[in-house]
Amino acid sequence: MKNLLEIRELAKNYGSVVALKSANFSVSPGEIHALMGANGAGKSTLVKILTGVIQSNSGSIKVNNFLVNFSSPDNARKNGVAPVFQDPALIPDLSLRRNLKLTNTDISKFEEKMIEFGLQVSLEEQVSRIELPMLRMIDLARALAHDPKLLILDEITAALPANLAEIVIEVMNKEKQKGNSVIFISHRLSEIGEICDRVTVLRDGVDVDTFETKDGDENRIVSAMLGSKITQNLSGNRVSTKADEPIMQLRSIKDDNQLRDVSFRINKGEVLGVVALEGQGQDSLFEILAGERRIASGEMLFNGSRVHFSHPSDAIELGITYVPGDRKSALLPQRSIRENLALTKFPKIRNWGWINQKTEDSMVDKAVKNLEIDTRASSQVKRLSGGNQQKVTIGRWITTGFDLLLCFDPTRGIDVGTKNQIYTLLTGLSAEGKSVVLFTSELREIELVCDRVIVLYGGKIVVEYDATLCTEELLLNAAHGRI
């Protein structure tokens, strides 16, 4: 069959850093094609080239057998390629209507798509006031309104509530029936086999495997992604280290937003899981624990004594550290890995106002080695892949030392290999007697790394389970308020 999209030996480098070595890839009409790869494999680069965000150094792209050169996102869209990114490309200060006008989108078609999705939104609403999951659906409806031949969905289902993820999958199947194609990028392996026809796996900037999903399974994807590296299976190896001594206790916490009567404890040396659907108050809860948000009533005890946080530095001083969901907000994107790692340590390595270079060097080197951070692009953290950025955000706190680590969805949009490294890191920390609170949108992680788990629903804790004894089904039900 004639290919809709055909890519030959596509390459891209930034100075001496090779992002894409030689990628070959094709999509037939009416096909859902998964594009897989560990972080730094060149997946994002390939998507950026296909959507006209950046231009390749060499290689060719053919659409319907015609050579094309996507010079801008607008140009790619005119060629029938429409992307939906993990971070929706909508202008925050403009109303939805004006955003649609900006992209020359047919408003009635857009509304039609939203009705098909069963979603309602006011066109006059300012984009900055719309929640992220809704924005992704809006972005998808906008892309569909342009009648694309090829839809590129980059991590769209990550952190999307189940009901919306289902709509996305329906959309993909509908497009397929119409004879249009979809390139689907997801870290949720279980989705791939169910939805996609073919899979292409990238590793180190080269396509290493392409196969029909009926001929292979998740293991084939994982082994292609990891190459020689072996997948670690953590479950079963974990030894529970929890002592029954609380490091932190929350009593009847209420905030002026969503939380109502939240009480729980975090024990020394345990990993406490937090499970919730989008927008159930978990953001507020983590911000309260990290000292970013104030409570309206209730009390917090740390090591048995009452504490009151008016600023994140109060929490940090007690040894509570927060790794937020948005990696960009935690890092200094333009500075080096070294500086980012040492940043939180500055108060301790300062010597009469000067930073001791030797102390800094040895600490940073240790962290880089322990975390296996890929330092090829060490001069600017913003050039690192998502997984490596996440390692830097966690690593900086490890160089500082802490007693309680708050992790908000640390493995979101990260490849399997790096995920496993982060799991090992977290369980290792708890074995050392540190406590971890982990919010995750991947239920599988609860069983893998947690000792106990609490489920938030509508701003309240609905249930607490022993993590080793509960099933994903049980958790999912609780997260929907069904106990």
Partner 1 sequence: MRFSLREQTWNISILGLVVGLTLWRGNQLPVFGSYEIKTILLGIIPIALLAMGQSLIVIGGGINLAIGAEAILINCITARFSDGTNFLTSVKWALIGILIATLIGALTGWVISKSGIADIVVTLATSFVLIGLALFVQPGPGGGVNLDFAQTFSGKGDSFIAPLLVLFLPIFLIWLPLQRSRLGISFYAIGSSKDAAFLSGVNVARTRILLYAFGGVFAGICGVSLTAITQAASPFAVISNTATLNSVAAAVLGGVALSGGVGGLFGPALASLVLYYIPTIMLGYGIDPAYSQIIQGALTILVVLVGGLLRARGKR
Residues at the interface with partner 1 (CB under 8 A)? 51, 53, 72-74, 77, 85, 89-95, 98-99, 101-104, 124, 126, 293
Residue with tokens 């390459």: 11
Closest approach, Cβ 253 to partner 1, in A, equals 17
Q: Based on CB atoms, which residue is closest to partner 1, 204 or 314?
A: 314
Q: What is the chain's alpha carbon radius of gyration, rounded to the nearest angstrom? A: 23
Q: What is the DSSP letter of 95?
A: B
Burial, 115: exposed, middle or buried (Cβ in 10 Å; 0-12, 13-18, 19+)?
Answer: exposed
Smallest separation (angstroms) from partner 1 to the CB of 330: 17
Closest approach of partner 1 to the CB of residue 333, in Å: 13
Q: Which residues contact 210 (CB under 8 A, 6 or more apart)?
A: 25, 198, 199, 200, 201
Q: At what angle do helices 107-117 and 132-145 cross, to 10 degrees?
A: 130
Pick 148 or 395: Cβ nearer partner 1: 148
Pairing of strands 58-63, 66-68: antiparallel
Closer residue to partner 1 in complex, CB, 92/347: 92
Which lies closer to partner 1 via its Cβ, residue 111 or residue 464?
111
Residue type, 86: Q
CB-nearer residue toward partner 1: 47 or 199: 47
3-state secondary structure 108-140: HHHHHHHHHHCCCCCCCCEHHHCCHHHHHHHHH
Smallest gap from Cβ 132 to partner 1, in A, equals 14
Residue 66: both structure tokens together: 């015609």
Q: Which is nearer to partner 1, 90 or 384 (CB)?
A: 90
CB of 110 to partner 1, least distance (A): 14
What's the closest the beta carbon of residue 124 comes to partner 1, in angstroms?
Answer: 6
- The secondary structure of 280-311 as a DSSP string is SSHHHHHHHHTTSS--SEEEEEETTEEE--SS
Closer residue to partner 1, CB minimum distance, 101 or 348: 101
Question: What does the DSSP assignment read for 343-391?
Answer: HTTHHHHEETTEE-HHHHHHHHHHHHHHHT---TTTT-GGGS-HHHHHH
Least CB distance from residue 96 to partner 1, whole Å?
Answer: 12
- CA-to-CA distance for 153 and 445, rounded, in angstroms? 24
